Amino acid sequence: MTMPRFLADLPRFVFFTGKGGVGKTSLACATAVRLADAGKRVLLLSTDPASNVGQVFGLTVGDRITPVPQVPGLDVLEIDPNQAAEAYREKIIAPVRDLLPQAELDSITEQLSGSCTTEIASFNEFTSFLADEERIAEYDNVVFDTAPTGHTIRLLQLPGEWTSFLDAGKGDASCLGPMAGLDRTRTVYAEAVRRLADPAQTRLVLVARAQQSTLREAARTSAELAAIGITGQHLVINAVLPKAVSDGESDALAEAVRGREHNAISEMPPVLRQLPLTTVPLHAQTVVGVDTVRALLHTGDTEIATFMENAQHPDLGSLDRLVDELATADHGLIMCMGKGGVGKTTVAASIAIALADRGHTAHLTTTDPAAHLDEVLDHQSIGNLTVSRIDPRVATQEYRDKVMASKGNKLDDAGRARLAEDLLSPCTEEVAVFGQFSHLVNQARRHFVVMDTAPTGHTLLLMDATGSYHRDIARSMGETGTYTTPLMRLRDPDLTKVVIVTLPDTTPVLEAAELQHDLERADIHPWAWVVNASLAAARPSSSLLRARAAAEQPQLERVTALAGRTAIIPMLADEPHGPDALRRLTTSTHQPA
């Protein structure tokens, strides 16, 4: 068996990172099994909220180290980031629960409910498996499923002590000090960061798919981590569609996908071309069970699993049915939300064009920094439709400058450094675009506004809980005043329709379910779900793709259980660029399998 390039001369620690749904967990499991089969003592540790390590090995795995009976020498451990974050919040809030009013406690809780807090809490949990030699002395290799972001690592590198900084009331910027509850010594964190940055000790494996969006994301991650000294990087492009499995087998969809993947790889960002590259072929089987885990990194022919020829997939409906229902009104806000790479821009553009074609005035906008509306629309103008883009970088820089000039003006150099780092958090960008977003929300009272990406429920509650726009208006108007804020409009189901976009795979569906829960905490209830790029809906003839289509069934069933309204878009032979291609997404010819 040929050695995959990313496994050659592997150091003791290996981290897998990448967007949801690219196959991080599967590759981490396959790596751990391969090392154990070679006689190594291996610990596989997951901090992925969508981790299914236990399911892969047929074990009940939690926060205890658990041996894998079928693989001597392999132990596994799952750290639940949400449980870690909850324990982390409780540690901060418990000492002041009886001292502060409930409103302030609610504010602190929401401030510590963002992605930054979850990252820090998770890293706090697994730092010892990177830096505490006593805990890992028996292991030759430690394999991590998901790595900390550059933002998290920069926070750990900051000098000084965060708790006193926050106690003095100086840290209320964006994430509002997720470092406040850390109890480990700076020495431990310094050792963890040192090991991460040492290529002789740590390899970071960037996992992507052969798609432009995930490769762009991998390039951003690579550059961010390289900038803070983590240079021992490899790139793995997973699930690349292989050549026809049997002689004479022909499938137009499969050929189109192969061509698209080839172009994405050949045109990937320059920063990725400098990295050692491994491609892993798409397998028919879902990676469940030790045999399929071992087969994942095998370079031989892909074996086709058995599948139900007449599998009955649930009827999720077509996108045109959702548009018909939206078009019964003459205005409203339609927010297409979801994780990166699921097709939000395509779905938003298709809905906006369909509404414009039905005679409605529509405005299509995006706050997604990776979105390219001009590219999707093929630079063509459409009657009744206007297009804009909120530039998150400009809005965020203006916000940072404002906070540094006000709060930062009262701090010493060390305090300003901490505040500047806090303002680099993912939450800052969402808060920064809220003002421009609010203006568009108001426009939706007169015509349709279709938005590609919007603030998460955490950001909306953060704006409310910290006395920003919503609460400021409430205070100024008093108990007898009448007012309507953007948050109130988002909670109005007659005005706002949230459409969650996902893919028919385990991780994207789980992430979409978490997004729905996050929005519901802000009393915003998604109106519909759209499943994009479904092989089941495309009805391929290739035996490999038919097997993959059959594997979608559990996720499609889960979507129908989670969503009140649904639509499904098939995997397409060509990317839907240009108005005509986008219009075809909202025609009744695209029916589910």
- Domains by residue range for the chain, with CATH: 5-296 (3.40.50.300), 319-390+436-584 (3.40.50.300)
- At 328, give phi and psi (nearest 5°): -70, -20
**Cβ-based neighbour number of residue 432 at 10 Å:** 25
Q: What is the DSSP letter of 64?
A: S
| Residues annotated catalytic, as ranges | 21, 23-26, 48, 507
Classified as helix, coil or strand, 567 is strand
Q: Which residue type is seen at 147?
A: A
Q: Measured between alpha carbons, how far is 137 from 510 in angstroms, rounded to an integer?
A: 35
Q: Which strands sit side by side in the sheet containing 74-78, from one edge to the other?
A: 66-67, 74-78, 42-46, 141-145, 13-17, 202-209, 233-240, 277-281
Q: What is the DSSP letter of 303?
A: P
Q: What is the DSSP string of 554-589?
A: HHHHHHHHH-SSEEEEE--SS---SHHHHHHTTSTT
**Cβ-based neighbour number of residue 574 at 10 Å:** 11
- At 142, give phi and psi (nearest 5°): -120, 120
pLDDT tens series, the chain, 593 aa: 578 999 999 999 999 988 878 889 999 999 999 999 999 999 999 887 666 788 889 888 877 899 999 999 999 998 887 788 888 788 878 888 888 888 778 777 777 776 667 777 777 777 878 888 888 999 999 999 986 666 566 655 554 444 344 444 444 444 444 555 555 556 777 788 889 899 999 999 999 999 988 898 899 889 988 888 889 999 999 999 987 654 456 788 999 999 999 999 999 999 999 999 999 999 887 888 899 899 998 755 444 444 444 556 778 999 999 999 999 999 999 999 988 778 898 999 999 999 999 999 999 998 766 556 777 887 788 999 999 888 878 888 888 888 889 888 888 888 888 778 777 766 677 677 776 777 788 899 999 999 987 666 656 665 554 434 444 445 544 555 555 667 788 889 999 999 999 999 888 898 899 889 988 988 889 999 999 999 999 999 888 899 899 989 999 999 999 999 999 999 998 888 889 999 999 986 544 43
Q: Measured between alpha carbons, how far is 311 from 315 in angstroms, rounded to an integer?
A: 12
Of 34, 574, 566, the closest CA to residue 295 belongs to 34
